[in-house]
Chains A and B, each alone.
Chain A
Amino acid sequence: MAFSIGGVELDSRFFLGTASYPSPAVLVEAVRASGTQVITVGLRRQLAGGDSEAGDGFFQLIKESGAHLLPNTAGCTTAREAVNLARMAREVFGTHWIKLEVVGDEYTLQPDPFELVIAARELAADGFEVFPYCTDDLVTCNRLLDAGCRILMPWGAPIGSGQGLLNPSALRTLRARFPEVPMVVDAGIGSPRDAVQAMEMGYDAVLVNSAVALAHDPVTMAQAFKLGIQAGRMAYDAGIMAKQDMAIATTPVTGRPFIL
């Protein structure tokens, strides 16, 4: 069930974030258990006096995973900041992929659609493969495609909230309106059930971080998501039956058993 996104063929539809794990060792094990082929990473301004959590050690760790790297522009609130950070990420991580984040509200971390489109246009023109983290707003998504994006990453719910897919109707609408665009549900997924729901809608992949990293057992949770994502996609491919308002008998009896 391979699929194509960003110019590569992938077998796994599970994109995994690398933040907030109990330890680097657990992160490595979770990545392995997930079977993921795409992991997200970030860049941080170096802290005065050293920064033991960042740098070459972490970079070496993620390179050894063998996964494609998807750097993000977390923390940016303007297109200018995001474009600068994206260009830094391209140099450091050696990839033209960028998960474009431009936050418009500090409480919900909701993407700013106006700045996002401006940044997407500039980065796409500069040769980036832009994975825009966006809301489920149809018109914003249309504008992002107009700006040169070939991929969409609508949210399920605010980042790290674990609320699941808050607006399934809007997500179904996006899938229906952009049947040929690779789309990844990003953010807000709290359990494998949410991932199954996204995959059953026909989304190409899901991106999960907190739900795995913050589980009591992140490695086992990574496996659970892997199975859920596979099951959801298989169900979508197999064709899910239409819902009916009334019962439809399944056993092929002839009327009532003892009444002629």
Chain B
Amino acid sequence: MPTIQLNKTPMQLPEGATLASLIASLPDAPKALATAVNAEFVPRDERAARMLAEGDVVMTFLPITGG
């Protein structure tokens, strides 16, 4: 059961968890959302193949106003 960080919050995942399964498990996950693991972008179509391991740092990014 690997422990990862999701947006700075520790989280324990089941064995075999992928980035896609993590995102799918989030309540109210926005549709417009980008993901990174250990500060590297992971495209949407690669999330299912991205296994999550102990100590991985997952970040999600949302659209916001900008100048």
Q: Is the C-beta of A191 less than 8 angstroms from some C-beta in chain B?
A: no
Bound form: Cα–Cα A74–B31 in Å: 22
Q: Is the C-beta of A59 less than 8 angstroms from some C-beta in chain B?
A: yes
Q: Is the C-beta of A253 less than 8 angstroms from some C-beta in chain B?
A: no
Number of interface residues of A (CB under 8 A): 43
Which of B12-20, B39-47, B48-56 contacts its partner?
Answer: B39-47
CB distance from B57 to the nearest CB of A (A): 11
In the complex formed, the residue of A with least CB distance to B45 is: A91
Residues of chain A within 8 A (CB-CB) of B66 are 17-19, 40-43, 71-72, 74
Bound form: Cα–Cα A19–B60 in Å: 20
Out of B7, B28, B62, B67, name the residue touching A210 (CB < 8 Å).
B67
B65 in contact with A41 (CB, 8 Å): yes
Given A46-B7, A48-B8, are A55 and B63 also a contact pair (CB < 8 Å)? yes
Residues of chain A within 8 A (CB-CB) of B1 are none
- Interface positions, chain B 5-30, Cβ under 8 Å from A, are 7-9, 28, 30
B63 in contact with A43 (CB, 8 Å): yes
A92 in contact with B33 (CB, 8 Å): yes
Residues of chain B within 8 A (CB-CB) of A167 are none
Residues of chain B within 8 A (CB-CB) of A53 are 64-65
B63 in contact with A41 (CB, 8 Å): yes
Residues of chain B within 8 A (CB-CB) of A236 are none
CB distance from A178 to the nearest CB of B (A): 24
Bound form: Cα–Cα A20–B61 in Å: 19
Residues of chain A within 8 A (CB-CB) of B32 are 55-56, 59, 92
Bound form: Cα–Cα A89–B66 in Å: 12
A59 in contact with B63 (CB, 8 Å): yes
A43 in contact with B61 (CB, 8 Å): yes
CB distance from B1 to the nearest CB of A (A): 21
Given A55-B32, A84-B39, are A74 and B67 also a contact pair (CB < 8 Å)? yes
Q: Is the C-beta of A87 less than 8 angstroms from some C-beta in chain B?
A: yes
Bound form: Cα–Cα A44–B35 in Å: 11
A44 in contact with B62 (CB, 8 Å): yes
B36 in contact with A84 (CB, 8 Å): yes
CB distance from A102 to the nearest CB of B (A): 15
A41 in contact with B64 (CB, 8 Å): yes
Residues of chain B within 8 A (CB-CB) of A74 are 66-67
Task: Name 11 A/B residue pairs within 8 A (Cβ), A-sorted.
Answer: A18-B67, A42-B64, A42-B65, A43-B34, A46-B7, A48-B8, A53-B65, A54-B64, A58-B63, A62-B63, A187-B67
